[in-house]
């Protein structure tokens, strides 16, 4: 296969899945990692793809990325975000954690905490924390989404509304430059809105790839968060919003968090 044909197929794979990794492409095309990285650099220079750590995403972002593929996108960045979020949550706190691979990274970083009550609509978070003796896990009822183990629907919304917690850890699928927080599933959005409304301190966690994506359903606005943790914020408009709304902005790519 010549490079042009391979690159066209790479773009199509990224369009279908939302994103691809170097490892996946090496296996699919049986070429070296160096060849794939060169292909991705060429495609990103053309604007056909956008580079991420370990791979690339399709710039349209109109289709949700398959959950396992999302796990492979910006893995190190998500882990750093998870550690930064966990550092803000004290022992003996109550908190919500919603659906997403970045919020899962937060749950992993919370495994050394004590006395937490974690309320979640994310089966993966519940399964990760259920073995931690000092953490009480409460899981929402509702419809289980087979793609990612998220629990959605009106039953989950009603369940969440029974609580008023110290913190909410919220992930989103996309962030617009105007601060709109977006997702793909309106049922999930309703749960996320209930979580935001019933927490005293909202921590938004999102890696920088979410700035280059879009999604059709509005969760809310950045101004509803108290803390925003990302690896890097590329938009001055987002920085201004954080300043105007007194939102603490933490960028984990920098040695000193920005307030």
Q: What is the 3-state secondary structure (H, E, C) of 142-188?
A: CEEECCCCEEECHHHHHHHCCCCEEEEEEECCEECCCCEEEECCHHH
Q: What is the largest CA-CA distance in the chain?
A: 59
Domain boundaries, the chain: 3-71, 74-251
- Residue 106 sits at φ, ψ, to 5 deg, of -65, -45
Whether the Cβ atoms of residue 140 and residue 159 lie closer than 8 Å to each other: yes
**pLDDT for the residue numbered 129:** 95
Cβ–Cβ < 8 Å for 32, 23: no
Give the model's pLDDT for residue 91.
Answer: 97
- State in words which class domain 74-251 has: alpha beta
Class of domain 3-71: mainly alpha
Reported pTM: 0.74
Cα–Cα distance between 73 and 155 in angstroms, integer? 31
Taking the alpha carbons at both ends of the chain, their separation in whole angstroms is 50
pLDDT value, residue 120: 97
Among 111, 108, 107, 131, which residue's Cα sits nearest to residue 119?
107
Long-range contacts of 29-38 (CB under 8 A, 24+ apart): 29/1, 31/6, 36/10
With a cut of 50, which residues of the chain have pLDDT below it? 62-63, 255-259
Torsion of CA 251, 253, 254, 257, to 10 degrees: 30
Look at residue 190 in the predicted model and tell me its pLDDT: 93
Contact 59, 47 (CB under 8 A): yes
């Amino acid at each position: 296969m010549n490079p042009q044909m391979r690159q066209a197929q790479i773009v199509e794979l990224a369009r279908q899945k939302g994103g691809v990794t170097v490892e996946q492409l090496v296996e699919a095309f049986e070429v070296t990692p160096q060849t794939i990285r060169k292909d991705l650099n060429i495609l990103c220079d053309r604007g056909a793809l956008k580079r991420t750590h370990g791979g690339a995403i399709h710039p349209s972002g109109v289709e949700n990325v398959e959950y396992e593929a999302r796990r492979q996108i910006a893995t190190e960045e998500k882990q750093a975000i998870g550690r930064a979020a966990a550092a803000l949550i004290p022992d003996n706190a109550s908190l919500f954690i919603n659906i997403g691979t970045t919020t899962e990274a937060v749950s992993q970083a919370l495994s050394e905490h004590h006395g937490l009550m974690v309320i979640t609509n994310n089966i993966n978070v519940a399964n990760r924390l259920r073995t931690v003796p000092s953490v009480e896990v409460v899981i929402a009822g509702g419809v289980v989404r087979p793609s990612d183990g998220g629990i959605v629907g009106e039953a989950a919304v009603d369940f969440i509304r029974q609580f008023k917690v110290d913190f909410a850890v919220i992930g989103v699928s996309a962030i617009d430059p105007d601060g709109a927080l977006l997702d793909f599933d309106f049922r999930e959005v309703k749960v996320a809105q209930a979580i935001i409304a019933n927490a005293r301190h909202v921590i938004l966690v999102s890696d920088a790839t979410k700035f280059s994506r879009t999604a059709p359903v509005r969760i809310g606005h950045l101004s509803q968060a108290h803390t925003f943790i990302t690896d890097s914020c590329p938009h001055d408009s987002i920085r201004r919003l954080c300043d105007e709304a007194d939102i603490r902005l933490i960028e984990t790519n920098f040695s000193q968090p920005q307030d």
